[in-house]
Amino acid sequence: MSRLEIRDVSKRYGDVQALRDVSLAVDRGVLGLLGPNGAGKSTLMRIVATLARPTQGRVIWEGRPLSEDPDRLRSVLGYLPQAFGVYPKLTAREFLRYLAAAKGLAADDRIDELLSLVNLHEAADRRLETFSGGMRQRVGVAQALLNDPELLIADEIGTALDVTIHDQIMKLLERLIEERDLSVLMITHNLGVAREVSDRVYVMYAGRTIESAPTETLFELPKHPYTQGLIASIPRLTGDEMAEGIDGVIPQYIDPPPGCRFAPRCPYAHERCTGGKPPRYATEDGSSVACYLHDPDTDRFETPTLAETRTALAGTDDVLDGTPAMEGDS
């Protein structure tokens, strides 16, 4: 049994269906959630963090639906949002003490421990207005760990930081995961980050999960044409040209296409793709992919390789948005 399970979660805002039948499972270690701008990643994380309710579906923590005890996950959850605001006139120690009080925690000893953990013990009594972006991000990590969480949600951490500071934050997070046996749900649009720190990766597109796999399997043998297009966009050091990208744009949520939402952009789309939503097909290497090309009950279609998709995408007019990251940031 997984620690956290998301089962067939959908979320609708009026006429806009932001999520549709999303399922995933988080065990100990790091699960990476990849997706372009508007894929629904942050909406899903707000539901997991109990900041929003699903229109349908269930979120289950250690075998028990959160609807039965909505405060239960909050007690074991740490949330590190993409945009982390601080009160600039407070010192780091004062700021963490303020957040601890808001959460009902008596945490003076804990605050000292966390400031040391994120290498801010010498700056604990400096005002936050004097902190660099990387130092503020480390304060964000500390606040996410105030309640000694079992599950950490990290939403595009380090996006606005330079490469060196981003690397420091990622190394800090990796160390915390190992030392504290955390389960981490990491939202990212950066393929390099996903490959470096994730144990398993889910790919989202237009409000759905379209592929999941162990990390190395996803990068070595991606199966969904969209995932293949993303991997094909990573620059190679062989001197070969990389694929030009995926033609078209992500569909509107008010009136999305029937069937597979990637079909209008897919070089392999056929009549079945537009008729109904593809189910998830499990493969022998531990992957799951929502694409009719992987239907084991039909021999009408050949499963494309990454090399074939690279060739199919070559010569298109539009460059894949955000190379080597993804199509955007949500």
Secondary structure of residue 313 in the 3-state scheme: helix
Give the number of other Cβ atoms within 10 Å of residue 307's Cβ: 10
Whether 322 has a pLDDT exceeding 60, the answer reads no
> 259-293 in b/e burial notation, b at 16+ Cβ within 10 A?
bbbbbbbbbbbeebbeeeebebbeeeeebbbbbbb
- Return d(Cα 246, Cα 225) in angstroms, integer: 10
Q: How confident is the model at residue 84 (pLDDT cuts 50, 70, 90)?
A: low
Residue 102 predicted with pLDDT over 90: no
Half-sphere exposure for 167 (CA within 13 Å, toward CB):
3
pLDDT recorded at residue 65: 86
Q: What is the pLDDT of residue 108?
A: 81
pLDDT recorded at residue 159:
62
Mean pLDDT of 17-32: 91
The whole-chain average pLDDT of the chain stands at: 83
Rounded to two decimals, what is the model's pTM?
0.85
Nearest C-alpha neighbor of 303 from the set 250, 228, 248: 228
For residue 10, what pLDDT is reported? 95
Give the pLDDT confidence of 262-321 residue by residue, as tens digits. 998 898 988 899 888 899 999 989 999 999 999 988 776 778 888 888 888 764 433 333
Instruction: Note the pLDDT of residue 161.
Output: 64
Predicted local distance difference test score (pLDDT) of residue 323: 32
Given this model, what pLDDT does residue 218 score?
Answer: 96
Q: For 102-122, what is the mean pLDDT?
A: 87
Tabulate helix, strand, coil % of the chain (nearest 5). Answer: 35, 20, 45
- Average pLDDT (40-46) is 88
The answer to whether residues 157 and 169 touch, using CB atoms and an 8 Å cutoff, is yes
Q: How confident is the model at residue 329 (pLDDT cuts 50, 70, 90)?
A: very low
What is the model's pLDDT at position 81?
Answer: 78
Q: What percent of the chain has pLDDT over 70?
A: 88
Answer whether residue 207 shows pLDDT above 80.
Answer: yes
| Dist. CA 107–CA 119, nearest whole Å | 18
pLDDT at position 320: 34
The DSSP-derived string for 64-126 is EEGGG-HHHHHTTEEEE-SS----TTSBHHHHHHHHHHHTT---HHHHHHHHHHTT-GGGTTS
pLDDT (0 to 100) of residue 58: 93
Task: For residues 110 and 2, give the distance between their C-alpha atoms in angstroms, rounded to a whole number.
Answer: 29
Helix (H, G, I), strand (E, B) or coil at 239: coil
Residue with the bigger pLDDT between 185 and 330: it is 185
The helix/strand count (H/E) of the chain reads as: 10, 12
End-to-end CA distance of the chain: 30
pLDDT, residue 240, reads 52
How far apart are alpha carbons 255 and 175 in whole angstroms?
44
Distance set, CA 215 to CA 30, 82, 192, 218, 285 (Å)? 10, 23, 11, 5, 11
pLDDT single digits (tens) 208-236: 999 999 999 999 999 999 999 888 877 65
pLDDT score of 201: 96
135-179 pLDDT per residue, tens? 888 898 899 989 888 899 988 776 656 777 777 777 877 887 888
Structure tokens at 65: 């639906």
Q: Tell me: pLDDT of 82 over 80.
A: no
